[in-house]
Amino acid sequence: MNKEQIINQTAEHIKAKLSGEGSGHDWWHIYRVWKNAVHISQHETVNLFVVELAALLHDIADWKFHNGDENIGPKMAREWLESLSVKEKTITHVCEIIKHISFKGANVENKINTIEGLVVQDADRLDAIGTIGIARTFAYGGSKGREMYNPDIKPATHNSFEEYKNNQSNTINHFYEKLLLLKDKMNTETAKNIAQKRHIIMENFLKEFYDEWEGKS
């Protein structure tokens, strides 16, 4: 099986697994991250096969839906890639990206150390901001039964992954705890440029949100 066939089979596998998911972590999220990653890769020197596989498999089993288990995603990705007889070196690289790709708190160190991982991380983070990012964060909050906004509960700064994954705050707080921080955490120049525009969209949204909340507009 050649690389193109492996990519296509992986895409079909993930599409079948995640289609119809309602929290914003569905197949179309994967599709956008995949396309973002390919776009960013055009401006970087990368192993595109690793980038595409990691993008397609990065949410195969997100810790947020598996009791905080950050090892289940790499485990399921490995099982899938082994079933396609992908080389061990590639599997190890892809699984390492999946393990460390997630945002784990404002003050938690980023452990990704390859350009392929940094590209996929940027692609994933771009889908968390801008208009689609706004839609996704409310979809996720609703799926978890969280309040849309509660002005009596202030955003928190998380110094560990444990603090971050145990956080149950309202959706508007998530902008301050993660989304508005991502612009300055992009790794590649391509992603940084895209993030600038998407960041402004979120700032404008929040201003309008607060105005409407207080009946000012």
pLDDT value at 45 more than 90: yes
**C-alpha count within 13 angstroms, C-beta hemisphere, residue 92:** 3
**What does the pLDDT read at residue 206?**
98
Select from 38, 189, 181 the least CA-distant residue to 123: 38
**What does the pLDDT read at residue 63?**
62
Higher local confidence (pLDDT), 167 or 12: 12
Q: How confident is the model at residue 66 (pLDDT cuts 50, 70, 90)?
A: low
User: From CA 104, how far away is CA 95, in angstroms rounded?
Assistant: 17
| Residues in Cβ contact with 56 at an 8 Å cutoff, skipping those fewer than 6 apart | 7, 10, 11, 14, 30, 34
Question: How many CB atoms sit inside 10 A of residue 156's CB?
Answer: 15
| Mean pLDDT across the chain | 92
**What does the pLDDT read at residue 68?**
58
Pair 119, 173: CB distance under 8 Å:
no
Q: How confident is the model at residue 61 (pLDDT cuts 50, 70, 90)?
A: confident
Domain CATH number, residue 170: 1.10.3210.50
User: From CA 24, how far away is CA 33, in angstroms rounded?
Assistant: 12
Domain that holds residue 30: 3-213
Higher local confidence (pLDDT), 44 or 158: 44
Number of domains in the chain: 1
Mean pLDDT of the region 115-136: 97
pLDDT value at 123 more than 90: yes
User: From CA 91, how far away is CA 174, in angstroms rounded?
Assistant: 33
User: From CA 145, how far away is CA 168, in angstroms rounded?
Assistant: 10
Pair 137, 166: CB distance under 8 Å:
no
In this prediction, what percent of the chain has a pLDDT beyond 90? 77
Mean pLDDT of the region 204-215: 96
Q: How confident is the model at residue 72 (pLDDT cuts 50, 70, 90)?
A: confident
**What does the pLDDT read at residue 64?**
65
Q: What angle do CA 154, 186, 122 make, to 5 degrees?
A: 105
